[in-house]
Structure 1
Amino acid sequence: MPDLSHGTPDDAAAVNALRSSVMRLSRRLKHQRVDESLSPTEMSVLGTLSLCGSATPGELARKEHVQPPSMTRIVALLEAKGLVRLEPHPDDRRQKVVSPTERAETMLDESRRKRNAWLAALAEGLDEDEWARLRAAAPVLEKLAHL
């Protein structure tokens, strides 16, 4: 594995360009929301529940890299909006399990379709070689996102 902390100037430039472009693209994708009343954090929590399944607020806090009291507030807001339901934990009565509602799943599906369509429209501006390189880079970016 390369040690980029002491890499060449080209490596440093590549890391800088990657950071900048990923952040810019992420910000632009965040604006392609179906429901503007939800914060990006609320959308992220719903996405995590959709992908990973039901979880306790503590598990969600770890996955989302927020403090447990913050997650408790986020879950309460999502519950008030009818987007999650809280159920007793099967093994620990002191805990609750958070699950997305059908309404949340429908909203997430719509949001994914809208964002995918927006990104596909952008990709139409790429030539065949650029599109091939982007397809090849997608698994690497996915890996970075989950390290």
Structure 2
Amino acid sequence: MTELSEDDRATVNELRGAVLRLSRRLRSQRVDESLSPTEMSVLSTLARCGSATPGELARKEHVQPPSMTRIVAMLEAKGLVRREPHPDDRRQVVVSRTDEAAAMLAESRVKRNAWLAQLAEGLSEEELAVLRLAAPVLDKLAHL
């Protein structure tokens, strides 16, 4: 691994600030205000990765297992996830999203994409080209 230059460190600092501001603005475009950002993130993880045990979800979401157990219980009470017996280990459960959660996530995605598309209309062709290149890199950083 190479040491970052001073310019690269400045870029990282700018990126951090920009991602935080954009993330805050994106969160304000939520469809269901009753869900916390963490609950939305768990539903998104289930949508992206499929069913998982609470322990697997805790690792993917970078939270402690007891916290994930509480989050799953809240989502289940809202009808957005269901817990089923693990097929191989009777001591565990598998969490999956419900059809209601899938519909809510799809509606949220449409709303947020429309909002971002409207912002992107104000960018130059060169700036859009940079975004096309940056999107996969940002996704990689998000999943490291």
In the alignment, what sits opposite 2:104?
107
In the alignment, what sits opposite 2:10?
13
1:20 Cα offset (Å): 0.5
Which of 69, 84, 87 matches 1:87? Answer: 84
Aligned identity (percent) is: 78
Count of residues in correspondence between the two structures: 144
In the alignment, what sits opposite 1:35?
32
Return 5+ residue gaps in structure 2 as ranges: none
In the alignment, what sits opposite 1:129?
126
**Counterpart residue identity of residue 132, structure 2:** R
Q: TM-score, normalised by structure 1?
A: 0.95
1:139 Cα offset (Å): 1.1
Distance 1:2 1:112 in 2: 37
Return 5+ residue gaps in structure 1 as ranges: none
Aligned-residue RMSD, C-alpha = 0.9
1:2 Cα offset (Å): 3.7
Distance 1:95 1:140 in 2: 35
Structure 2 counterpart SS, 1:126: coil
Distance 1:11 1:90 in 2: 48
Distance 1:12 1:65 in 2: 25
